[in-house]
Amino acid sequence: MADLPERRACITGIGQSKVGRPSSETPIRLTMQAAREAVADAGLTMADIDGIANYPMKTTEGGGISPVGVGEAMFALGIDATWIGSSTHEGPGHMGAIFQAVMAVATGLCRHVLVFRSVAQAQARLQARGSTLLGGSRGRVEGNNAWTVPFHAISPANMWALYAQAYFDRYGASSEQLGWVAVNGRRNAALNPNAIYRNPITIDDYMASRVISSPLRLYDCDTHIDGCTALVISCADAAMDLRNQPIRIEAMGMALGGIGQGIHTGDFTALPAGRAGDMLWSRTDLKPRDVDNAQIYDGFSILTLLWLEALQLCAPGEAAAFVEGGTRIALDGELPMNTGGGQLSGGRWHGFGHTHEACVQLWGRGGARQVAGARLSAVCNGGYGYGALLLRTD
Amino acid sequence: MTAPPRKLPVLDDLSGFFWTSGADGVLRVQRCTACGHWQHPPLPSCAQCHADDLAPQPVSGRGRVKTFTINRQAWTPGMAPFTFAAIELDEQAELYLFSNVTGDPEAVRTGMAVEVTFEQQDDVWLPLFRPVEAAHG
């Protein structure tokens, strides 16, 4: 499998702006902060960056979901790129830009790609309270939202609550189990200076928190922030002499399910992300048991359980028991999970926070939250388009 | 129960029939003329056999609650708790409609038998579902 394109790409630098809720900085300033940090981290200058990509394309709709375009960032940072990419929701989830950058360097289109994800959802909320809800704009709804919003289901929490209830019903899982995804995230966020929520919570706090959309509670839902995460993805040949030990991309996997079109198959207890897991493991000789830290998407806590199973880190129906009690997923457990707090407590960096945290762990920069001997990270993003990465340093 | 006005769907070529079907009190779902497969939401071709010949066909309007949630967060001012559910129609396994189950949210259960009832708002007849009385359920 040595000629897989992802084996010709590495992550060589990371950066993240200061988190805000809201931030006093404009989205482009936050983007510049993260980008400059990532490029300097790689030991490069902007003159070395010859590719740039972001996720998703800039939009002024959608309540700050993507306030900075790739062109805007390119000019602001003085990047003279020969390859420019921008991705959409319809790809490997939030990893769209990462996958594009991997392919760009693997095919020789460029050597060092700056990849970024900017969000300004907290600032947008100051303008309009409902800005991050589905169908938040005026007028009629269309597309996927047409199948849910007319029934008052204007939050994604409503849809994922259907999955949570079905999962509970089929497997006998409970809130007391699911809640550990949130408790674990908060425990780790307390050790992450750039997490948005850092006060520890207990499972009792979780059970006492208000129900948003049963069985999902407040702490099952992630939270909007302002900020930017950036990565530098370099071709392997150009990565060897840089400042950091290159983080190698062992394998990647993707899938796109019908959920974003309102099409649901099966019994609401599994995600189409299973195909991303199948693809990921088909591209490596490594096994799920080799993973020593997992950064699992947690836009809602139930997605984490479903993704653990989609990535074959847990057998179907076993993820709830796996997280229960928080021992096996703790920093010193058998599979440390969402070590920076995830999105639930770290803030909605929208998938990129998970990849950033995997790099923090693999480079041994976790400080108080460092997983001893972290060498192989599984990272996954998404709830419509699905993307997964296996990252390694050894 | 007071409910805020519903945000209505765009009626397009593919889905318009679904939203207006209730005008005569009958729920209709897209069906493949070639193989008989039912599908929802409507698609330009049959997901089963890929034929393009599809048409709205009446269904019984009866089904079961596959999974549900009781929404308690008032996303808009005055929003009361409501039940949002995936209804699996009797016509075919995994033929799901998203809708509200009317009546007491606390009474809703997975597997509960329900039947369609329509709520008109402007040019849209929203198919909602009510519990089937035990006597004929």
Query: Within a domain: residue B99?
Result: yes
- A263 to chain B, any CB pair closer than 8 A? The answer is yes
Does A137 score more than 90 pLDDT?
no
In a 13 Å sphere around the CA of B22, the CA atoms on its Cβ side amount to 16
Look up tokens 């765009």; give the residue: B10
**All residues at 6 or more sequence positions from A45 whose CB lies less than 8 Å from its CB, including other chains:** A39
Query: Within a domain: residue B27?
Result: yes
Radius of gyration of chain B (CA): 16
| CA of A254 vs chain B CAs: smallest distance (Å) | 21
Expressed as residue numbers, the domain containing B108 is 16-136
ipTM score of the complex? 0.96
Q: Kindly determine whether residue A155 and residue B41, on different chains, have CB atoms separated by under 8 Å.
A: no
Beta bridge partners of B71: A213, B82
Q: Kindly determine whether residue B69 and residue A266, on different chains, have CB atoms separated by under 8 Å.
A: no
Does B3 score more than 70 pLDDT?
no
Nearest to A213 among B7, B10, B69 (CB): B69
Query: Within a domain: residue B98?
Result: yes
Q: How many domains would you assign to chain B?
A: 1
* CA distance linking residue A339 with residue A295, whole number of Å: 7
Q: Kindly determine whether residue A213 and residue B72, on different chains, have CB atoms separated by under 8 Å.
A: yes
- A172 to chain B, any CB pair closer than 8 A? The answer is no
Sign of CA dihedral A280, A164, A201, A19: positive
* CA distance linking residue A172 with residue A162, whole number of Å: 15
Q: Kindly determine whether residue A141 and residue B76, on different chains, have CB atoms separated by under 8 Å.
A: no
Residues A281-328: tens digit of each pLDDT: 999 999 999 999 999 999 999 999 999 999 999 999 999 999 999 999
Closest CA to A358 of A83, A148, A95: A95
Q: Which domains does chain A have, with CATH numbers?
A: 5-127+224-239 (3.40.47.10)
* CA distance linking residue A15 with residue A33, whole number of Å: 8
Largest alpha-carbon pair distance within chain B? 47
pTM above the 0.95 mark?
yes
Nearest to B70 among A166, A169, A214 (CB): A214
Mean pLDDT of A66-71: 94
Does B87 score more than 60 pLDDT?
yes
Query: Within a domain: residue B30?
Result: yes
Q: For residue A283, give both structure tokens.
A: 């591209």
Mean pLDDT of A184-190: 98
Query: Within a domain: residue B53?
Result: yes
Q: At residue B6, what is the residue type?
A: R
- B46 to chain A, any CB pair closer than 8 A? The answer is no
Query: Within a domain: residue B102?
Result: yes
Query: Within a domain: residue B11?
Result: no
Residues A188-242: tens digit of each pLDDT: 999 999 999 999 999 999 999 999 999 999 999 999 999 999 999 999 999 999 9
Find the closest chain A residue to B80 by CA distance: A152
CB A125 within 8 A of CB A224: yes
Nearest to A162 among B8, B76, B86 (CB): B86
Query: Within a domain: residue B94?
Result: yes
Q: For residue A279, give both structure tokens.
A: 């693809």
Look up tokens 């259960």; give the residue: B109
Q: Kindly determine whether residue A212 and residue B86, on different chains, have CB atoms separated by under 8 Å.
A: no
Q: For residue A333, give both structure tokens.
A: 């457990």
- CATH number of the domain encompassing residue B48: 2.40.50.840
